[in-house]
Amino acid sequence: MNDFVFQSPTRFVFGRGYADRIGGEVAALGAKRALLVYGGGSVVRTGLLARVTASLDAAGVGYVELGGVRPNPEVGIVRKGIELARHEHVDLVLAVGGGSVIDTSKAIAFGTSYQGDVWDFFMRKATIGACLPIACVLTIPAAGSEASGSCVISNDELDLKKGVNGDVFRPRVAVLDPEVTFTLPQYQTAAGAVDIICHICERFFSGAGAVPVTDNIACGIIRAVIDAATTVTATPDDYDARATIMWSGTLAHNDLCGCGRASAPTKRAGGWESHGLEHEISAHRPEVTHGAGLAVILPAWMRYVWRADRERFLAFAKGVFDVEPVDQTDEATQDAITYAIDELQRFFVSLGMPRTLADLDLAPAEVDGWLQTLRQNKGERFGELRPLTMEDARAIYLSAF
Ligand code: NZQ
Ligand code: ZN
Global confidence as pTM? 0.98
Q: Are residues 135 and 221 in the same domain?
A: no
Given a contact cutoff of 8 angstroms between Cβ atoms, the answer to whether 199 and 257 are in contact is: yes
Give the number of domains in the chain: 2
Q: How far is 18 from 33, CA to CA, in rounded Å?
A: 21
Q: Are residues 71 and 167 in the same domain?
A: yes
Name the domain boundary from 126, 161, 180.
Answer: 180
Ligand 1 within 6 A of 144 CB? yes
State the sign of the Cα–Cα–Cα–Cα dihedral 192, 296, 267, 316: positive
- Give pLDDT, residue 21: 98
Measured in angstroms, how far is the CA atom of residue 184 from the centroid of ligand 1? 11
Pairing of strands 33-38, 92-97: parallel
Ligand 1 within 6 A of 139 CB? yes
For residue 1, being part of any structural domain is answered with no
For residue 142, being part of any structural domain is answered with yes
For residue 228, being part of any structural domain is answered with yes
Q: Are residues 166 and 262 in the same domain?
A: no
For residue 5, being part of any structural domain is answered with no
For residues 67-87, one letter each, b for 16 or more C-beta atoms within 10 angstroms of the residue's C-beta and e for the rest, the string is bebbbbbbbebbbebbebbee
**Which of ligand 1's atoms lies nearest the C-alpha of 70?**
1
Q: Are residues 375 and 237 in the same domain?
A: yes
Measured in angstroms, how far is the CA atom of residue 167 from the centroid of ligand 2? 18
**Which of ligand 1's atoms lies nearest the C-alpha of 39?**
1
For residue 28, being part of any structural domain is answered with yes
**Which of ligand 1's atoms lies nearest the C-alpha of 101?**
25
Ligand 1 within 6 A of 140 CB? yes
Given a contact cutoff of 8 angstroms between Cβ atoms, the answer to whether 101 and 66 are in contact is: no
Which residues form the domain of 79?
A: 11-180
- Give pLDDT, residue 285: 96
Measured in angstroms, how far is the CA atom of residue 330 from the centroid of ligand 2? 33
Ligand 1 within 6 A of 202 CB? no
Q: Are residues 166 and 201 in the same domain?
A: no
Q: Are residues 117 and 201 in the same domain?
A: no
Query: Which CATH number fits the domain that encloses residue 319?
Result: 1.20.1090.10
Q: Are residues 223 and 369 in the same domain?
A: yes
**ipTM score for this prediction:** 0.99
Reduce the DSSP state of residue 12 to 3 states and report it.
Answer: strand
* pLDDT values of the chain reduced to their tens digit, one per residue, 401 residues: 999 999 999 999 999 999 999 999 999 999 999 999 999 999 999 999 999 999 999 999 999 999 999 999 999 999 999 999 999 999 999 999 999 999 999 999 999 999 999 999 999 999 999 999 999 999 999 999 999 999 999 999 999 999 999 999 999 999 999 999 999 999 999 999 999 999 999 999 999 999 999 999 999 999 999 999 999 999 999 999 999 999 999 999 999 999 999 999 989 999 999 999 999 999 999 999 999 999 999 999 999 999 999 999 999 999 999 999 999 999 999 999 999 999 999 999 999 999 999 999 999 999 999 999 999 999 999 999 999 999 999 999 999 99
Q: Are residues 206 and 108 in the same domain?
A: no
Measured in angstroms, how far is the CA atom of residue 3 from the centroid of ligand 2? 25
Q: Best of 37, 74, 139 to mutate for ligand 1, by most ligand atoms within 8 A of CB?
A: 139
Q: Are residues 95 and 192 in the same domain?
A: no
What lies within 8 Å, CB to CB, of 329 at 6+ separation is none
Given a contact cutoff of 8 angstroms between Cβ atoms, the answer to whether 136 and 95 are in contact is: yes
Measured in angstroms, how far is the CA atom of residue 354 from the centroid of ligand 2? 16
- Give pLDDT, residue 266: 87
Name the domain boundary from 180, 205, 239.
Answer: 180
- CA trace torsion 211, 214, 215, 217 (10° rounding): 160
- Give the tens place of pLDDT for each residue, 141-192: 999 999 999 999 999 999 999 999 999 999 999 999 999 999 999 999 999 9
Query: Which CATH number fits the domain that encloses residue 119?
Result: 3.40.50.1970
Q: Are residues 164 and 249 in the same domain?
A: no
Name the domain boundary from 180, 201, 220.
Answer: 180
For residue 2, being part of any structural domain is answered with no
Q: Are residues 15 and 158 in the same domain?
A: yes
Q: Are residues 197 and 175 in the same domain?
A: no
